[in-house]
Amino acid sequence: MAAESASASPHPRAARLLDFAQLLCGVLALGLFVLVLGWPLSEILREEVARSTRLILALFIAQEAARFALAPRRSAYLRTRRLEAFLALLASLELLFGATLVTRLQEMGTGIAPTTIALLWLGSTQLTLLFALALRTMRDNRWLSTRSLSPGLVFIISFAGLILVGTLLLQTPHATRAPGLSWTDALFLATSAVCVTGLTPVDISETLTAHGQWVLLGLFQIGGLGVMTLTYFFAYFVAGGVSLRNRIGLQDLLSEENLVNIGAVLGLIVAFTVVVELTGALLIHRALLDSPSAPGNLAFFSLFHAVSAFCNAGFSTLPDGLADPSVSVHGGFLGVMMVLIVLGGLGFPVVTNLWQFLSAKVRRLLGLRLAAPPRLTAHSRVVLISTAVLLVGGATLIWLTEFVAGGGRAQVAAGSPWLTALFHSVTARTAGFNVTPTDALLPATTVIIMFLMFVGGSPASTAGGIKTSTLAIAFLSVRRVLLGRADIEAFGRRFAPELADRALSILITALGFITLVSIALCALHPELPPESLVFETVSAVGTVGLSRGVTAELGDPAKLVLVIAMLIGRVGVLAFLVSFFPRREPPVLRLPETTIVLS
């Protein structure tokens, strides 16, 4: 693949010029796409946008034709660049026949307004260019390869780019109702959506239009799966593969040991996400269909909340969230939401392993022979057991503190204190939905929820936090010390000592970062309750979204602090720091060993 791709590439200097031309096309197309999507266009401005679009299309077609002409082996170029060739052909058709097609559709009486047809053509054209740019950038990645950026840093840059695009889209007139969003609030909301946090300084049901809510849905869907995961998926299954270096980077991001299986893992991730989200949306729609108090536009409501739950985003189109009486009384609806949250928080490596394990079981039941049937890995067992313990243990503790010792002060969902406690235990692990006002919970319950927010979900999932596996390794390390054993052991396996070091590092850096952010918020807002600000910090760093009602009261500097906290929390504090420090070869000589007193 690499040799064939190299033989199909033009001269390096010419390639750099062509890359710059395509980058220019992408930037201009992005600007026009945001303009078309977000602003009402007058007849004169629409004509200017159409003229600019034709010029960008011509430049894009010219650089693609130059790539083909300069390729040493044109047949190899076409084999490895099938999608780029198709997009160039599509752009050529749009350039030659786009205006004629728009005119014909306007004359046919389709029932669609002529201006809408023109805008749809302009928007689809910009998307063609943007998709081509994203695909070539992530597949070839020549710019990134020359600078040896770590996969973690590429992940950060991709998230920052998506946040920037989301901020621009949320600032457009079509996205918000008057008086709109400030730049700080738009940045905060875009970051919260991309980092699947759920904190919001405004009531999205009142501030965002239907168009703005679709934008928000797209942001937390892409943010939940990961920008690179989606782009690599298209590169693999539409364009025929990615470079070896990118496959190695993707191997780290997906926690996949076998490089050969990455394509299958990507397909399973996207397929699993689509199936679960659509199934969840159908079940939510069915659960609320016959309710006299069902929310308006139930189809969009169901899809929005299914995606929000699976991505652990915590956004709701209801003013009071899931505490709204129209949905909090429906146990079936809450049950579907909990299942979606748990499935999204398990992590794609666990989902993949479970799929392989269950498929092998079914094949064995059907009498099909398997040379080496897959088993549940140690990672999957750690995640599944940790998840079950946290869910059941958290629900029991919340039920005891809030409804037994506390006398049942909290609002009860679906008439069941136990269901309410279980929902809080599920949603506190980075989903961020609430069926009870969080600021009305007892202090003991609040501490339990903060612990669950701090732990979060599992690695390579849509959830945040320090992750269940980190907590499990820390617990097993403590058990090793208490029992006087030499190794960390579980499930008949011995874990590498480096895992304990990494778990300790994650715990220390996460706690240290939460402390710094809490101090910053308390210094910026001494008038607000410190316990609420610490709760807000843990929620932001853990990408949870639960709030004690102080988000809207924060000033712009505090909101910017939380923006940074959400981005770093989504990546992981330790992973964020490691991304900026290149790995060094271990020294040949080791220093003399010594000791200090610890206790």
**pLDDT (mean) for 109-122:** 55
CA 332 – CA 413 distance, rounded (Å): 11
pTM exceeds 0.85: no
Q: Which amino acid is at 296?
A: G
* Within a domain: 99: yes
CA 215 – CA 163 distance, rounded (Å): 12
* Within a domain: 197: no
Q: Is the pLDDT of residue 541 over 80?
A: yes
Q: Is the pLDDT of residue 535 over 90?
A: yes
**pLDDT (mean) for 216-229:** 78
Q: Distances in Å between the alpha carbon of 269 and those of 136, 156, 229, 486, 594?
A: 22, 21, 9, 38, 48
How many C-beta atoms lie closer than 10 Å to residue 597's C-beta?
4
* Count of helix runs (H) and strand runs (E) in the chain: 26, 2
**pLDDT (mean) for 222-235:** 61
Q: Distances in Å between the alpha carbon of 10 and those of 63, 76, 86, 265?
A: 12, 12, 19, 32
What percentage of the chain reaches a pLDDT higher than 90? 23
**pLDDT (mean) for 405-432:** 82
Q: What is the pLDDT of residues 64-90, one digit of tens each?
A: 788 778 877 777 766 666 666 766 777
* Within a domain: 55: yes
CA 348 – CA 228 distance, rounded (Å): 14
Structure tokens at 491: 């499930």
- pLDDT value, residue 73: 76
* Within a domain: 10: yes
What three-state secondary structure class fits 234?
Answer: helix
Q: How far is CA 436 from the centre of its chain?
A: 26
Q: Which amino acid is at 493?
A: R
Give the DSSP per-residue string, 284-311. HHHHHHT-TTPPSSHHHHHHHHHHHHHT
- pLDDT value, residue 536: 93
- pLDDT value, residue 463: 81
Q: Band of the pLDDT at 116, cuts 50, 70, 90?
A: low
User: Could you tell me which of 391, 401, 402, 399 has the C-alpha nearest to residue 430?
Assistant: 391
* Within a domain: 538: no
- pLDDT value, residue 447: 93
Report the C-alpha dihedral over residues 180, 183, 186, 187, rounded to 10 degrees. Answer: 180
- pLDDT value, residue 125: 65
Q: Is the pLDDT of residue 511 over 60?
A: yes
Q: Is the pLDDT of residue 508 over 90?
A: yes
Q: In terms of pLDDT, which residue wins out, 376 or 424?
A: 424
CA 18 – CA 25 distance, rounded (Å): 11
Contacts of 251 (CB under 8 A, 6+ apart): 257, 259, 262
Which of the residue ranges 2-16, 246-260, 332-346, 581-595 would you say has the lowest mean pLDDT? 246-260
- pLDDT value, residue 49: 79
**pLDDT (mean) for 262-269:** 64
**Domain count along the chain:** 1
Q: What is the pLDDT of residues 279-319, one digit of tens each?
A: 999 999 998 888 777 777 888 899 999 999 998 888 998 88
Q: What is the pLDDT of residues 139-174, one digit of tens each?
A: 555 544 444 556 567 678 778 888 998 898 888 888
* Within a domain: 161: no
CA 90 – CA 76 distance, rounded (Å): 21
Query: Which residues are registered as beta bridge partners of 495?
Result: 488
Q: Is the pLDDT of residue 118 over 80?
A: no
**pLDDT (mean) for 54-63:** 80
Q: Distances in Å between the alpha carbon of 288 and those of 318, 332, 336, 341, 432?
A: 14, 9, 11, 19, 21
Tell me the residue range of the domain where 57 lies: 1-140
Q: What is the pLDDT of residues 166-221, one digit of tens each?
A: 898 888 888 888 788 889 999 999 999 998 888 888 888 889 988 888 889 989 98
What three-state secondary structure class fits 320?
Answer: coil
Q: Band of the pLDDT at 131, cuts 50, 70, 90?
A: low
* Within a domain: 263: no
- pLDDT value, residue 564: 94
Q: Band of the pLDDT at 579, cuts 50, 70, 90?
A: confident
Q: Is the pLDDT of residue 322 over 70?
A: yes
**pLDDT (mean) for 567-574:** 88
Please confirm whether the linkage preceding 179 is cis (ω < 30° from 0).
yes
Q: In terms of pLDDT, which residue wins out, 244 or 355?
A: 355
Q: In terms of pLDDT, which residue wins out, 245 or 265?
A: 265
- pLDDT value, residue 234: 45
* Within a domain: 19: yes
Q: Band of the pLDDT at 374, cuts 50, 70, 90?
A: confident
Q: Is the pLDDT of residue 393 over 90?
A: yes
**pLDDT (mean) for 461-489:** 88
Contact present, 510 and 573 (Cβ < 8 Å)? yes
| Average pLDDT across the chain, whole number | 79
Contact present, 196 and 220 (Cβ < 8 Å)? yes
What percentage of the chain reaches a pLDDT higher than 70? 77
